[in-house]
Amino acid sequence: MTPPAIRVALLGHGVVGTAVARLLASQGPDLAARIGRPVELVGVAVRRLDRHPGIAPELLTTDSATLVTREDVDIVIEVIGGIEPASGLIRSAVKAGKSVVSANKVLLADEGAALHALAAESGVDLYYEASVAGAIPLLRPLRESLAGDQIFRVMGIVNGTTNYILSRMDATGASFAEALDEASDRGYAEADPSADVDGFDAAAKAAILAGLAFHTPVSTQDVHREGISEVSAADIRAAKEMGSTVKLLAICERVVGPEGESVAVRVHPAMIPRTHPLAGVGDAFNAVFVEAAAAGELMFYGRGAGGEPTASAILGDLVAVARNRLAGAAGPGASAYAALPIRPMALTPTRYHISLDVADRAGVLAAVANEFASHDVSISTVRQDGRGDEATLVIVTHTATDSALAATVDGLRSLDIVRNVTSVMRVEGF
Amino acid sequence: MTPPAIRVALLGHGVVGTAVARLLASQGPDLAARIGRPVELVGVAVRRLDRHPGIAPELLTTDSATLVTREDVDIVIEVIGGIEPASGLIRSAVKAGKSVVSANKVLLADEGAALHALAAESGVDLYYEASVAGAIPLLRPLRESLAGDQIFRVMGIVNGTTNYILSRMDATGASFAEALDEASDRGYAEADPSADVDGFDAAAKAAILAGLAFHTPVSTQDVHREGISEVSAADIRAAKEMGSTVKLLAICERVVGPEGESVAVRVHPAMIPRTHPLAGVGDAFNAVFVEAAAAGELMFYGRGAGGEPTASAILGDLVAVARNRLAGAAGPGASAYAALPIRPMALTPTRYHISLDVADRAGVLAAVANEFASHDVSISTVRQDGRGDEATLVIVTHTATDSALAATVDGLRSLDIVRNVTSVMRVEGF
């Protein structure tokens, strides 16, 4: 006698949903062996019934609200994306006692704390490995494998589109606009690329990572966000001259100050040395670098997007959630016991790289150095190249608050002897 | 009122055990928050009572057999290593209903199947993340995150000592003996380096990885093993000339042949291209590259050894095992449902790189090419550099069975026109 199946409802049947349905079918015997029960797809919610020839017609429905509360559904997989209707559907499903697997970074970053509380109240699971860095097992290691350790810092390349663009700029010397065009041609950039190039996508992922790493509720609004559209060919050249490359980084840190611990979360382009493990992450790949007290340095690397990789992460969650249901227990939920305050960007410690064209005459270096000193910013390295009546100054600072560094740059811009500020960028990973 | 504690017994108090005890103390509040109960160390089994000033004397015991069955113990952490007494103690603990966290690769690789069966029978957990690649979360991702995917291949640098030695040979041109001396001086190599340099350590880890990846019982005896003591400076130079570097790799593959699927597991030095993500893994770091049907390429990187990193992995397991106990359920055990046959090395498909010194005269290339053809080995690339009456031939083959490739090399050695076979090595990752 076959044991009763684990019954799954799928919300959404686009690129990811199609891959999930295909894997559910092709991996059937394997999933059954790993869960101890067969898995059965019992319904697929779509917007239009006539566009999904791959799904048996009797499974399709436009009535997603009814599907998520149906008695014959155990687990709901949500791959619609965005806030509504996904949020309302997940809430209904959870209240009806269904466990939920979601790939929805925007929703989890915005409403994660409320959704976790609801899931805990209903005694069901809410898993979302696919929401950050696609197929890379990342949330589970952070939440479970490192549960006995103290994470200091999570620094990642979590957006494939921007990594492709910056990799091309680095390889060919192209401008941002040229590299964006190339990314569009290759299918790596959306028609409206803002979510990627302006850092919104990375900021949502940063919020999720910071929350898990530091046991603190973090939402997208807590994340300082800068995109890559201002990164110039001159910035890339300046990075190369110091043996570095430019990456869009999502950085989540535990900062210890006199007033206690806090969490700083930010997304911005930064120069990192070519010897850093993240520097070699090219093309549209993702990677996340983790620093922990006992474990030391860890890195997780893989494909961050695409139907199949995302579906792989969803099925991994499905197996865990199904096993938990059969055991009559929920898995480890998100924990927010630390509840650390969020540190504003202005008070977050960073380091800057600054390239200046200055007049080449006596007293210029002193004036520039004074500007740094007046903001209490200490200089790590300085390089001066004279060429006739003009010189280039390349300065890398020590760590200071981001506001002090920004004020220093403003001060430099207003100095008569500074003819041009050719590149300003934060440096990380040194 | 404080809820009753989760009570832990620690077997062994060397480098790893000391780090575990220290983390249990320093991470106490965090562990309690993550588990929902405080964790209490109730006993530490050691060989000599007078050598452990860091542990309260009343916790120390030399009677490990009694400790593992004591009624006031919930979870046993085993960091003794080796087969006995670890095996007997773990069996007693499991039979007495204790869950076990172990870092013991040798034992798990040798007796894993029997120990898993015993744990399943008793309804307890046996976790061992720390046994492979130290702090790198690897077994949990393989076992859980990729549970809905099909793994094709796991290829890793899982021994830090040999990676340090090969990295030095690559960087400085040193011989194996010189680099081994340097590793000893730096504390990276044991007084008897055989377990590392002859590949025994990597072979045990390969057996564990293959078992998890392919849901098949695999033990150390199933692993083809070659160490690095025969790797010469000439091999390293030959690798450089083709844009490659030499690494000791543990390779676990699912091989599909006319007679069905099988699993091939091997440890040997190999040339990999410098563009491969594993090529940049230097010093004593570990990294494991995974190829899966849906997820694509993944890599996990970090510190593979050391007290603190290993303790981090053990505490991650401890949190999971403790949560499982409180939920009244065991976590996902090892699954061996696929039970694929083991493929012998002779029948495993590999590729060879071969450098030869040959007489530089008409007909030589034809004779060499004939030798390959006679074993049904197809040549991918060939480069001939003449210098007077002698020439160097560098040949990279296509994939063939390892026995056909080995027979080809034997054949080449016996040809009159071949003066010297300067380097023979498998190539991977192209």
Question: In this structure, what CATH number is given to the domain that contains residue B71?
Answer: 3.40.50.720
pLDDT of residue B361: 86
CATH code of the domain in which B355 resides = 3.30.70.260
Ramachandran quadrant class, A59 (left: phi over 0; alpha: psi -120 to 50; beta: rest): alpha
Of the partner residues B300, B311, B327, the one whose CB lies closest to the CB of residue A300: B300
Q: Which residues contact A288 (CB under 8 A, 6 or more apart)?
A: A133, A136, A138, A154, A155, A156, A157, A158, A209, A299, A300
Helices within A99-218 (DSSP H only):
105-122, 139-140, 160-172, 176-185, 194-197, 200-214
Q: Is residue B335 part of a domain?
A: no
Residue B1 is assigned to a structural domain of this protein: no
Res B372: pLDDT: 96
- Residue A221: Cβ-neighbour burial (10 angstroms; 0-12, 13-18, 19+): exposed
Question: Testing the interface with B: which of A216, A290, A298, A335 to mutate, by most B Cβ within 10 A?
Answer: A298
Q: Which among B140, B280, B297 is the nearest to A303, CB-wise? A: B297
Asked if residue B159 and residue B231 are part of one domain, the reply reads yes
- My answer on whether B197 and B287 are in the same domain is yes
Task: Give SS3 for A144.
Answer: helix
What is the model's pLDDT at position A319? 93
Same domain, A50 and A73: yes
Which residues of A fall within a CB distance of 8 Å from B318?
A: 148
Domain range for A181: 139-303
Asked whether the beta carbons of residue A316 and residue B31 sit closer than 8 angstroms, the reply is no
Tell whether A117 and A181 lie within a shared domain.
no
Do A87 and A221 share a domain, yes or no? Answer: no
Choose among A70, A62, A120, A119: nearest CA to A91: A119
Q: Which residues contact B196 (CB under 8 A, 6 or more apart)?
A: B159, B161, B162, B189, B190
Is residue A337 situated within a structural domain?
A: no
Instruction: Count A/B contacts: CB-CB distance under 8 Å.
Output: 205
Tell me, what's the pLDDT at B387?
Answer: 80
And the tokens for B326? 């409180």
One domain for residues B292 and B322? no
Q: Given an 8 Å threshold on Cβ–Cβ distance, is B299 in contact with A303?
A: no
- Cα–Cα distance between B23 and B306 in angstroms, integer? 14
**What pLDDT is recorded for position A117?**
94
Taking an 8 Å cut-off on Cβ atoms, the answer to whether B299 and A300 are in contact is yes
H helices of A285-361, where? Answer: 307-327
Q: Are residues A146 and A272 in the same domain?
A: yes
- Shared domain for A73 and A129, answered yes or no, is yes
Does B149 share its domain with B266? yes
Candidates A145, A212, A274, partner chain B, best to mutate (most B CBs within 10 A): A145
Contact at 8 Å (CB) between A361 and A393?
Answer: no
Contact B294 A309 (CB under 8 A): yes
Of residues A95, A98, A105, A205, which has the active-site annotation? Answer: A205
Residue A199 shares a structural domain with residue A232: yes
**Chain B residues with beta carbon closer than 8 angstroms to that of A146:** 137, 312, 316
- The residue in chain B having the minimum alpha-carbon distance to the alpha carbon of residue A149 is B312
Same domain, B154 and B291: yes
Low-confidence ranges of chain A (pLDDT < 50): none
Angle ∠(B53,A151,A340) on CA atoms, nearest 5: 110
Out of B149, B301, B323, closest to residue A277 by CB: B301
Give the CATH number for residue B212.
3.30.360.10
**What is the nearest CA distance from B288 to chain A, expressed in angstroms?**
10
Alpha carbon distance A154, A265 (integer Å): 9
CA dist., res. A284 & res. A305, Å (int):
8
Domain count, chain A: 3
The predicted structure's pLDDT at residue A217: 93
* Chain B closest-CA separation from residue A373 CA (Å): 39
User: For residue A2, what pLDDT is reported?
Assistant: 66
Last residue of a domain, one of B327, B362, B396: B327
Q: Report the pLDDT averaged over residues B118-144.
A: 93
Are B329 and A332 a contacting pair at CB < 8 A?
no
Split at pLDDT 50, 70, 90, the class of B319 is: very high
Contact A308 B296 (CB under 8 A): yes
> What is the rounded end-to-end Cα distance, in angstroms, of chain B?
61
Same domain (yes/no): B224, B78: no
**What sign does the CA torsion over A73, A78, A84, A87 have?**
positive
Provide the terminal-to-terminal Cα distance of chain A, rounded to the nearest Å.
61
Instruction: Indicate whether A157 belongs to any domain.
Output: yes
In sequence order, which residues have a C-beta less than 8 Å from that of residue A400 and are 6 or more positions away? A349, A350, A351, A375, A376, A377, A378
- Judge: B149–A332 Cβ closer than 8 Å, yes or no: no
**Domain boundary residue, one of B243, B267, B301:** B301
Confidence bin at B2 (pLDDT 50/70/90): low
Would you say residue A339 lies in a domain?
A: no
Which residues in chain B have Cβ-Cβ distances shorter than 8 Å to A328? 327-329
d(CA A104, CA A97): 20
B12 is a domain residue: yes
List chain B residues with CB under 8 Å of A329. Answer: 327-329
Looking at residue A361, its pLDDT comes to: 86
Cβ pair B329:A327 closer than 8 A: yes
B333 located within any domain:
no
Task: Name the domain boundary from A268, A303, A338.
Answer: A303
In a domain, A298, yes or no: yes
Best interface-test mutation with B: which of A6, A8, A139, A299 has the largest number of B CBs within 10 A?
A299
Its pTM surpasses 0.90: yes
pLDDT for the residue A214: 95
DSSP, collapsed to helix, strand or coil, labels residue A260 as strand
pLDDT at B105 over 60: yes
Task: Tell me the angle at which helices B307-327 and B28-35 cross, rounded to the nearest 10 degrees.
Answer: 30
Please indicate whether, in this complex, the C-beta atoms of B301 and A296 are within 8 angstroms of each other.
no
Looking at residue B163, its pLDDT comes to 97
